[in-house]
A = this chain, B = another copy of it.
């Protein structure tokens, strides 16, 4: 195969594509300054870049050729890289839980193993006694054992009470006997279980003297440390290929009379005494915090960076790709100059910024709650739980849908794995399901909102995020002309009204049905589509509100505040534009006002388009982290696609199909055609 350089002289590694370069020169703000703000300060930017520089200079961390690897190769690479990273961090003196570790995981996340190993450690820290922590955690932290967290079963996910694994206490031997009583009870899905873990925290229904005590956690050895063979009574393996996560060995686990000593029940909150007596102590409420932490952290470490990467790739590509004539006789136009392309990409960019500021807010209120809870006050917990559930849903739905919009907006090339986009989507979309299925979570949030609505009716004070529910109503929108819709008070009121109205309508319907004699559970089910919508509307309002507040705080950064204000407006107006019915249905917005929203929204597209590239540059992803032929900083899209494609195994290997199947047929053709 002739090489590129013989045919086309100039390409990658030299100048930046002028079509991309010109976009940067016209930035209305300092890209570096915005990067610092996103990082939380210039010093953090320096730390982050220093970490990336270390990773990128080390070939062990290279993601080159990642898109060509098999599931087995991805798995083996993830194990190798994780253990190497563990050593590297010690070598560099980067502390556990420090910012460097977070940046390492951000940079290498899609290619590290041992994710659930860390959940194993956290669960022991959260659920174990001091002795249990002292025994197990150091072993796991040094990777002398590998752990997993085995909760989900083949037949049960989000509904924990339905789990069927049993743990029966045998007083005679002072052991728990763990069993998988039927096929649907086998543990299914835990990461690191399929081919790696030696130990597991297993959740099982505790049975003492014939009485059930509900779900409890047990530490179980599942494989030999010496030869990795399953322990007696254990059947363990990999659950097979998934839509993504090729590098992770999600597994299954069957237990048949597996005995663990009494000391292996994690006993911070409840204990079984030698005589089989059950002792409960302390409040498990604090465990909700763990769930909340996990939901905030997947927003920060998975959803947000995924959407930011996709925006970076799609927007850079859209100023390099030229297609068709915009003005007759002109050269072909950059596709980002088409309104339809702006309408696809710029709302995703605004969403990425919205979620960035949402993360900061969630982190703040989480810290506040954490302090209170450690002081024994649990008042903030229900609000925080409802908020984190709703936010997890909107963030996972919007970010995964947004990534897919970005991917499709890159046309055919967005379908190539080399664009980086398909794997971002297929990995991210799992977040709609894991850590609480989205519909279930929305209904949990709805239940909290209904309760608050009832409290408001009774004149009780409400937690701050739902304070608007004690409003008497919001009247009609007061906007007179389209620029009024650039007033945050106008649109946050609209979002508040929408959330309030959808919730109240669902509540009225629920109440009416019950009054008509329909059983509560049945009435709840008949209202659940609308209740879920209300929870979504509430979460959407929170995102808008927090974006507005974050932008207000940037008053010392005029240029950055100006562009972020545009993005905030765009996020809010796009939400109205895309869900018009919710705002118009009861006449809150008039026909004329709806048209104003549309015009205001479309105007913003043209304004933000000018800064689109600087706004994604500010995310400051290195080419190595993006790992995209379409999204690199230099914009040499076509050269890179070609260079990378040539490395495909399909081009390196012989084609056995030719000798076997094609040649015998082709040999029938006349030799000269």
A516 interfacial by beta-carbon distance below 8 Å: no
| A76–B656 touching, CB < 8 Å | yes
Within 8 A of B (CB), among A141-194: 142-146, 152, 154-159, 162, 180, 182-184, 186, 188-189, 194
Whose C-beta in chain B lies nearest to the C-beta of A579?
B581
**A278 → B minimal CB distance (Å):** 24
Partner of A159, one of B332, B417, B668: B332
| A323–B158 touching, CB < 8 Å | yes
Top 4 closest pairs, chain A to chain B, by CB: A580-B581, A238-B650, A144-B669, A240-B648
Measured in the bound complex, the distance between the Cα atoms of B666 and A611 in whole Å is: 52
Knowing A412-B189, A412-B434, A522-B327 are in contact, say whether A585-B591 is a contact too (CB < 8 A). yes
| A240–B142 touching, CB < 8 Å | no
A28 interfacial by beta-carbon distance below 8 Å: no
Partner of A416, one of B195, B240, B579: B240
| B669–A228 touching, CB < 8 Å | no
Given contacts A154-B641, A154-B642, A338-B528, 19 further A-B contacts (CB under 8 A): A4-B183, A7-B183, A67-B240, A79-B657, A80-B657, A139-B669, A142-B665, A142-B668, A157-B411, A158-B323, A162-B324, A225-B671, A243-B426, A252-B642, A252-B645, A327-B519, A408-B429, A581-B581, A587-B591
Partner of A343, one of B152, B422, B440, B529: B529
Knowing A243-B422, A327-B522, A641-B154 are in contact, say whether A1-B585 is a contact too (CB < 8 A). no
| A196–B662 touching, CB < 8 Å | yes
A54 interfacial by beta-carbon distance below 8 Å: no
A351 interfacial by beta-carbon distance below 8 Å: no
Knowing A67-B240, A228-B655, A641-B154 are in contact, say whether A430-B415 is a contact too (CB < 8 A). yes
Measured in the bound complex, the distance between the Cα atoms of B650 and A76 in whole Å is: 11
| B324–A666 touching, CB < 8 Å | no
Measured in the bound complex, the distance between the Cα atoms of B666 and A521 in whole Å is: 51
Measured in the bound complex, the distance between the Cα atoms of B413 and A252 in whole Å is: 13
Residues of chain B within 8 A (CB-CB) of A641 are: 154, 188, 239
| B408–A432 touching, CB < 8 Å | yes
Knowing A72-B649, A327-B521 are in contact, say whether A662-B228 is a contact too (CB < 8 A). yes
A564 interfacial by beta-carbon distance below 8 Å: no
| B529–A340 touching, CB < 8 Å | yes
Knowing A144-B665, A157-B323, A252-B645 are in contact, say whether A183-B639 is a contact too (CB < 8 A). yes
Number of chain copies forming the complex: 2
| A426–B418 touching, CB < 8 Å | no
Q: How large is the interface on A (under 10, 10 to 19, 20 to 34, 35 or more residues)?
A: 35 or more
Partner of A194, one of B143, B591, B650: B650
Within 8 A of B (CB), among A334-348: 337-341, 343-344
Residues of chain B within 8 A (CB-CB) of A408 are: 429, 432-433
| A663–B228 touching, CB < 8 Å | yes
**A334 → B minimal CB distance (Å):** 12
Measured in the bound complex, the distance between the Cα atoms of B228 and A657 in whole Å is: 11
A92 interfacial by beta-carbon distance below 8 Å: no
| A186–B662 touching, CB < 8 Å | no
Q: Chain A: residues with CB nearer than 8 A to chain B?
A: 1-2, 4, 7-8, 11, 67-68, 70-72, 75-76, 79-80, 83, 139, 142-146, 152, 154-159, 162, 180, 182-184, 186, 188-189, 194-196, 198-199, 221, 225-226, 228, 230, 235-243, 249, 252, 254, 256, 321-328, 332, 337-341, 343-344, 404, 408, 411-412, 414-418, 422, 426, 429-430, 432-434, 437, 439-440, 443, 519, 521-522, 525-530, 532, 579-587, 591, 594, 598, 602, 638-639, 641-642, 644-651, 653, 655-658, 660-663, 665-669, 671, 673
Measured in the bound complex, the distance between the Cα atoms of B522 and A326 in whole Å is: 8
| A586–B579 touching, CB < 8 Å | no
Partner of A145, one of B71, B579, B666: B666
**A143 → B minimal CB distance (Å):** 5
Report 29 cross-chain contacts, Cβ distance below 8 Å, ordered by A residue. A67-B241, A71-B650, A72-B650, A83-B665, A139-B669, A155-B321, A162-B324, A188-B641, A189-B412, A194-B650, A195-B657, A196-B657, A225-B666, A225-B669, A237-B650, A238-B650, A239-B645, A240-B416, A241-B417, A241-B648, A324-B440, A340-B443, A343-B529, A344-B439, A412-B433, A414-B433, A580-B585, A581-B583, A585-B591
| A650–B323 touching, CB < 8 Å | no
Measured in the bound complex, the distance between the Cα atoms of B71 and A71 in whole Å is: 11
Partner of A339, one of B76, B240, B529, B656: B529
Residues of chain B within 8 A (CB-CB) of A180 are: 7
| B76–A666 touching, CB < 8 Å | no
**A109 → B minimal CB distance (Å):** 18
Knowing A242-B415, A323-B159 are in contact, say whether A154-B638 is a contact too (CB < 8 A). yes
Residues of chain B within 8 A (CB-CB) of A157 are: 323, 411-412
Measured in the bound complex, the distance between the Cα atoms of B157 and A439 in whole Å is: 39
Measured in the bound complex, the distance between the Cα atoms of B583 and A157 in whole Å is: 39
Whose C-beta in chain B lies nearest to the C-beta of A241?
B417
Residues of chain B within 8 A (CB-CB) of A527 are: 339
Residues of chain B within 8 A (CB-CB) of A156 are: 323
| A256–B7 touching, CB < 8 Å | yes
Knowing A184-B638, A667-B225 are in contact, say whether A243-B417 is a contact too (CB < 8 A). yes
Residues of chain B within 8 A (CB-CB) of A237 are: 1, 645-646, 648, 650-651
Residues of chain B within 8 A (CB-CB) of A443 are: 340
**A441 → B minimal CB distance (Å):** 12
- Find the residue from A155, A194, A328, A642 having the highest chain B CB count within 10 A: A642
| B644–A240 touching, CB < 8 Å | yes
Knowing A240-B67, A641-B154 are in contact, say whether A144-B194 is a contact too (CB < 8 A). no
Residues of chain B within 8 A (CB-CB) of A426 are: 243, 422, 426
Residues of chain B within 8 A (CB-CB) of A598 are: 530
